[in-house]
Structure 1
Amino acid sequence: MALGHEIYLAVVALVAFLASIACDKGCSPRKAMLVLSFGAVISSLLALGSHGELFEGTYRIDIFSQSFKVLISVGFFLAVALGGKLKGVEEEYSAEYYLFLTISVLGLTFMVSAMDLLTLYIALEVSSYSLYILVPLRKDNQNHTQVESAIKYVLFGAVASGVSLFGMSYLYGLAHTTSLATLYKVYPAIATEPMGLIALAMLFGSFFFKLALFPFHLWTPDVYQGASNETTAIVATLPKVGAVAVMIRLIAIGGGTEQFTFLLVVLAAFSMFYGNLAALAQTDLKRLLAFSSISHAGYMMAGILSNSVSGQAAATYYVSGYLIMNLALFFVINSLSKEGGNVTLEDLRGLHKRSPLLAFTLAAGAFGLAGIPPMAGFAGKLFVLTSAFEAKQMWLVIIGALNTAIAIYYYLKMVRAAYTPDPEAEEGEAVEISLGAKALGVLFIAAILTVGIIPGFFIEFFKHGL
């Protein structure tokens, strides 16, 4: 059944809604959501071979969209699993938390199959508004940072959505269609008009926001720091998977335009430099990962803007590895966090003695994001920079290589804090984690190594979808 996965997610959302009504205070549907989110992974895998177009071509189901639905579902399951008992969320809101998380995942699922501007916009808003609700659902603290973060996230998100909608209206006025399939054919004729380029750039606004690409990144550090650890893990990963899928579809509209490609190259370069340089001074791990995500958005764009099968497959591979490695680090943060609070570099001291598994998971994730072999991040950066080289974007290749060297410093700073001998810290309280959490840590390490050691398999699979 072509829509089987979407129907399954809708049923999960309905179950979460009923749980939010039926659950008394203190009741948490986490165990049920763990099973249901794993069911979403199975559902997406079963639907991997589905093909077809629905609603007169506005919704396309193919290997490309189904591959991204698998990634989104895997991220959904891991996000639920690493959340534990939702230490950072008020217990009375746990059922609502899972409800809006599921709705956001459903919106992302619709987004990657959308082949019409209006369908795309509605799916984007369904996903976005659910995340806006998750950010303030953090246990209250003296600084009320979750409220400030939520307001910033909503305001910047609303502006980005408005910019995209304005761009869509201009494209419709110029091309007289909202169908992406038709826009692929007619855009070259209107690309010579200044408004054609402006409209396309505005259309990308919401997806630059989701990707945290410069200059749509301003919300990122404050939202990451102010939201709960569980929510930040979701905001940092799942929307980026959806954004990469949509931008691969949209780049085909204007990817052959020299001016538009130059604009994307400039934004990618600024993202790499700004994100990495700002991350050097951070001590709060979530804030560090926020600036890190800005730089990674630049690498993803390096693959996307090549407008080639190999480049877009590289971008898909990159975001796949990014999803796993980031969630691995958030798993460590959540495990170390006391009462859902933020974790700093200081909290990592002596971790190799207090919890060897968490320390090794941290090292695997940090080495991967730094681009050190044999982790997934190394192959990801190699592939996206190779695609940029093939597209004759030499300056972007040089900038990407330089920024990889910069990033190694602050990622290794995390590992050094965890592994440097520190007798005082090592004598501190051991970090106790459940058997399920230990299994999840091993799973993260195995996944990061597997994706990094056999990248060719994944690249060929993603190429097949393109």
Structure 2
Amino acid sequence: MMAILPELVLLCGATFYFIVSLLPSPGVRLLRGSSIFIGLLVFASACLTYGQESTLFHNAYVVDNYTQMFKVLIGFALAVVMIFGVELRGIENSVRAEYSMFLYLSVLGLMMLVSSVELIAIFISLELSSFALYVMVPMRDDSTGTRTQMEAGIKYVLFGVMATGFMLFGMSYLFGLTGSTYLQDIIPALQGLGGQPAVVVSVIMILAGFFYKLAVFPMHFWVPDVYEGASNETTGFIATVPKLGAVALLIRLMTLPSGQPEFLVQFLGGVAVCSMFYGNLCALVQKDIKRMLGYSGISHAGFVVLGLLSLRAEGYGLAIYYIAGYVIMNLACFLVISALSQRGENLQIDDFNGLYKRQPVLAFILSVSLFALAGIPPFVGFMGKFFLLTSTLQQDHLIIVILAAINTAIAIYYYLSVVKAAYTTDSNDEQPAILVPPMTRITGLVLVVMIILMGTLPSKFVNFAGSLVQSIM
């Protein structure tokens, strides 16, 4: 029971909000207080269960250091989202309890996904997380004049169904080839099949389902519209937490191919480069901050894929280090966005003009996170890209490294344009006063400290992540 304590806390939290949704008029203070409390409780329970080892449900569910590390990261990200989104300004008043219920169900699906080592369990976990998100997107309050949430929700569902179809088709191939749905049986069974085309095709089709979660080209088309149409709180969640679950399972799946199939390596390299160029070039012309971060997320997903190219524990450890840093950097950005958006409206880049005068703490948090995303030292974004490019170069992928370096230079322009607006451009209009709760400011500064620590002491984090990956290979 102790091994699945985070999952039980999430299930109890979702049940609590289901009961609250049945009340005629749930109090605002109840929703605010309980959301932060349950979010912190999930994080604490994940930390308490680190070190637990167990197998459950006929060996379809594994609890070990690898899975619990990802659950700690997911719990931390959830707690941060709960803190800066506690007001739920962008959510319709009448469905705020239901929104919180679906949010916790989505996180429950992600934690189950991390521990699932059987194809059917993986599929059920992924769909639990996805369908909860599909419902959350249209729950945005339209009193600010926003009408795009319904279109965003429909696009999210349609692309999600397509990705699920690819994944299920690939799973059926694996089952037909090996006669088992358990990864521990599939992996040795594939050793005797070598690099047969059916093996490569099945793995690529399964990867497509997780590329959708990670927003990797060509499964990225939903990103800009969903980021723009969803509320700031929902976008902050979608942009961070699901990516952790996707990377955790991607690394498990990458242990399926035997040896180093050349076609799979070339496929991953092409996907990585296309994600970088598409994301960065589209981000250059964006005026909406969330669309810009959406396109930049596609680019960062390409860097994560670079860690998979090696098909070795070292590269997978670098991918974990990079995605953890990316989640923290993105959380800091969305914390500032949610704090500035007093009515839950979308923000344009011009809305950050003169931010250093109105809220110097928020301007500092935003600047550090954007510098880190751009890959400027001494922050985690720089060290993550440096390690990934070095590892890729050691695998003799010189052209990919050159193209990735070019993309890093492109990204600096649009990230620093927001910093320029915050510090060197004065606002033409009279800006209203911004009330930022102390807990939000403290959380933002904690994220800044983590960004700096992960950038200045990278070897500790990289070695730790690598040792965890080695334990499952």
Shared topology, TM-score over 0.5?
A: yes
1:209-248 correspondence runs (5 A): 209-248=212-251
1:121-140 correspondence runs (5 A): 121-140=123-142
SS in 1 for 2:111: helix
1:4 paired residue number: 5
SS in 2 for 1:102: helix
Contact 2:342 2:434 in 1 (8 A): no
Among candidates 271, 283, 286, match of residue 287 of structure 2: 283
TM-score, with structure 1 as normaliser: 0.97
1:31 paired residue number: 33
SS in 2 for 1:249: helix
Deviation at 1:443, TM superposition (A): 1.8
SS in 1 for 2:347: coil
Amino acid at match of 1:64: Y
Contact 1:355 1:430 in 2 (8 A): no
Residues 128 and 49 of structure 1, relative CA distance in 2, 3 Å threshold: same
Distance 1:439 1:344 in 2: 25
Match status 1:114 vs 2:116: yes
Runs of 4+ more than 3 Å apart: 25-28, 427-430
Identical pairs, percent: 43
Among candidates 64, 71, 74, match of residue 72 of structure 1: 74
Deviation at 1:441, TM superposition (A): 2.2
Deviation at 1:143, TM superposition (A): 5.3
1:172 paired residue number: 175
Contact 2:5 2:49 in 1 (8 A): yes
Distance 1:21 1:456 in 2: 50
1:48 paired residue number: 50
Contact 1:78 1:327 in 2 (8 A): yes
Amino acid at match of 1:116: E
Among candidates 265, 269, 293, match of residue 261 of structure 1: 265
TM-score, with structure 2 as normaliser: 0.95
Residues 403 and 423 of structure 1, relative CA distance in 2, 3 Å threshold: closer
Structure 2, unmatched stretches of 5+, are none
Amino acid at match of 1:19: V
Q: State the Cα deviation string for residues 354-400 of structure 1 (Å, max 9, x = none).
A: 11011111101101111111111111111222221222222222121
1:19 paired residue number: 20
Deviation at 1:26, TM superposition (A): 5.5
Distance 2:382 2:17 in 1: 39
Contact 1:107 1:127 in 2 (8 A): yes
Distance 1:464 1:422 in 2: 49
Distance 1:23 1:400 in 2: 54
Q: State the Cα deviation string for residues 244-268 of structure 1 (Å, max 9, x = none).
A: 0000000011272111111111001
Contact 2:195 2:261 in 1 (8 A): no
Among candidates 365, 369, 374, match of residue 373 of structure 2: 369
SS in 2 for 1:53: strand
Distance 2:79 2:275 in 1: 29
Amino acid at match of 1:208: F
Report the RMSD for the aligned CA atoms in angstroms. 1.5
1:298-337 correspondence runs (5 A): 298-337=302-341
2:399 paired residue number: 395
SS in 2 for 1:127: helix
SS in 2 for 1:3: helix
2:201 paired residue number: 198
Q: State the Cα deviation string for residues 106-133 of structure 1 (Å, max 9, x = none).
A: 1000001111111100000000000111
Deviation at 1:25, TM superposition (A): 5.3
2:104 paired residue number: 102
Contact 1:366 1:411 in 2 (8 A): yes
Distance 2:209 2:301 in 1: 14
Contact 1:72 1:238 in 2 (8 A): yes
Contact 1:191 1:197 in 2 (8 A): no
Deviation at 1:429, TM superposition (A): 3.3
Distance 2:426 2:188 in 1: 63
Amino acid at match of 2:242: P
Distance 1:142 1:339 in 2: 11
Amino acid at match of 2:202: A
Residues 86 and 192 of structure 1, relative CA distance in 2, 3 Å threshold: same
Contact 1:351 1:418 in 2 (8 A): yes
SS in 1 for 2:192: helix
1:432 paired residue number: 435
SS in 2 for 1:106: helix
1:446 paired residue number: 449
Contact 2:20 2:26 in 1 (8 A): no
Residues 413 and 437 of structure 1, relative CA distance in 2, 3 Å threshold: same
Amino acid at match of 1:90: E
Deviation at 1:190, TM superposition (A): 2.9
Distance 1:152 1:206 in 2: 16
Structure 1, unmatched stretches of 5+, are none
2:160 paired residue number: 157
Contact 1:251 1:305 in 2 (8 A): no
2:185 paired residue number: 182
Amino acid at match of 2:192: A
Paired residues in the alignment total: 465
Match status 1:271 vs 2:271: no
Contact 1:272 1:295 in 2 (8 A): yes
Q: State the Cα deviation string for residues 305-348 of structure 1 (Å, max 9, x = none).
A: 22222211111111111111101111111111141110011101
Residues 191 and 136 of structure 1, relative CA distance in 2, 3 Å threshold: farther
Among candidates 63, 83, 86, match of residue 84 of structure 1: 86
Contact 2:393 2:401 in 1 (8 A): yes
Deviation at 1:440, TM superposition (A): 2.0
Amino acid at match of 2:40: F
